[in-house]
Structure formats: C-alpha cells, structure tokens
Structure 1
Amino acid sequence: MKEKLSEAIQIQDKSIVSRQIIKKPNGNITLFAFDKNESLTEHTSPFEALVQIVKGRMTITIGGNPFQVEEGEIILLPPDIPHGLVALESTIMLLTMIK
C-alpha cells in the first residue's frame, strides 16, 4: 500500500474522523482528521504514543503543559500522563502507539 498521508483521510465539518492503518498486538497506527476547534478531552493511556502533525496545527496539553505542534513536527505522549488535543485549524495527525 502506498498513499500520501495528507490525502489518505478527509477532514469533515465539525467532526473528528479516524482511519486505522495498522492494528497489531504490540501497537497501532491511526490517522486522524480534525476540523478546526475540534478536540479530544483530557485522558490518559497506559502506553507511550507519538503524534506527528501531517497538516495543520494543534495545541496538545500534556500534564497541564500546552504545546503548539505544527505541520512536520512530532511530540511524545508519555504513558499515564493526562493529555488532550485541540485543532487550531483543520488538522491531519498520525498517532503511533506502542504497547
């Protein structure tokens, strides 16, 4: 399979869309599309995860500390630390979670 990540998912009005690319017992890779101002409320995960912004920009809050992450940048989400996300504009994000 060969695809351009920025074209592999469509941003939808006032929505968050996800597409699972790989799901394995030891982790998964999921592509997300967020419309502007869409968010995931603060939550935790027992696993480490890597977020890569494919297109757009987000504020990602980790343990109460906000980080602005832009196209082409990555940020690590540590396990068991609360985190939340807000799309500052229409955004495509790739999430890689390792179990």
Structure 2
Amino acid sequence: MTVMATTDLATSLGYSDLLGSIPVTPSSTTSRVVVNNSALRVVVFAFDEGELLTEHASPRAVVVQLLDGAIRFTVGDTEHHMVPGDVIYLAPGERHALVADAPSHLSLVMVDVAATAASGASPTA
C-alpha cells in the first residue's frame, strides 16, 4: 500500500477517475491512501477475484463501501455478501476479513474516534 503524506485537515481536495487510476491487477490486491490526517484515513482497494484479506482488526472506527464487483465480508461470525453500494460499519477493534468473489473496488474510511473527540467535533451532523 502506498501511504501518501499527511493530508492537511484544513484543506479540501478532490480526486477524479480514482477507480481508473487503481486498476484491478491479475492475482493481486492493491491499494492507495487518498486522505491521511489525524482524524481519518481513506483507502481505496482493488481486488482481483479470489484475493483476500485475512482476519484482522483496526483500532479506528471503519466504514467500508463496495464500489464495484462482489465481496464476501466477514464481521465476527457473520458473513455479508456485498454488492456495489453496500456499506458496513465496524466498531473500533471489530475482527473482520474478506474474499473477493469478482474483480472489485472497495473504499475504506477509518475514523480516529479519539482524535475526533479531542477536537470537539460533534458526532452528529
């Protein structure tokens, strides 16, 4: 995974053709960090069919959205068959794993709950 330099929390940014710039590579999992600051990290993954991430956990809260393809995403003992547009929320420390059933792109947003709370940000919009 390529980790970009820290993204300034006070500076807005945008990306065009993100999926085109992160192609699915045969027999591979690739990723790109597109936002990285003290509050959150956004990573886009490309998985070829059959690629997997073994069970692991993050200390951050995580929001996963399938952008295209098909993925089996396991949270604890529950397997979710994700289709494009599906979203899964993971509480900090939640064990999870996945297997790509088709070439797929996945967006992962990790929120540092402690940093957000320390900044005084409201948990609701």
TM-score w.r.t. the length of structure 2 is 0.75
Amino acid at match of 2:73: I
Aligned partner (choices 83, 86, 89) of residue 76 of structure 1: 89
Structure with the larger strand share:
1
Q: Where in structure 2 are the equivalents of 1:1-99 lying within 5 Å? A: 1-99=14-112
Q: How much is the aligned-residue C-alpha RMSD, in angstroms?
A: 1.1
- How far did residue 51 of structure 1 move? 0.6
In the aligned structure 2, how far is the partner of 1:79 from the partner of 1:11? Answer: 28
Deviations 1:68-91 (A, max 9, x none): 111111111221121001101000
Is the 1:6–1:55 Cα contact (8 Å) retained in structure 2? Answer: no
1:54 aligned counterpart, secondary structure: strand
1:76 aligned counterpart, secondary structure: strand
- Structure number with greater Rg is 2
Deviations 1:36-90 (A, max 9, x none): 0100000111111011111101011001110011111111122112100110100
Structure with bigger RCO (C-alpha 8 Å, 6+ apart)? 1
Of all paired residues, the percent bearing the same amino acid is 31
Name segments (4+ residues, structure 1) moved above 6 Å.
none
TM-score w.r.t. the length of structure 1 is 0.93
Is the 1:53–1:69 Cα contact (8 Å) retained in structure 2? Answer: yes
Structure 1 residue runs of 5 or longer lacking an equivalent are none
1:6 aligned counterpart, secondary structure: helix
Structure with the larger helix share:
2
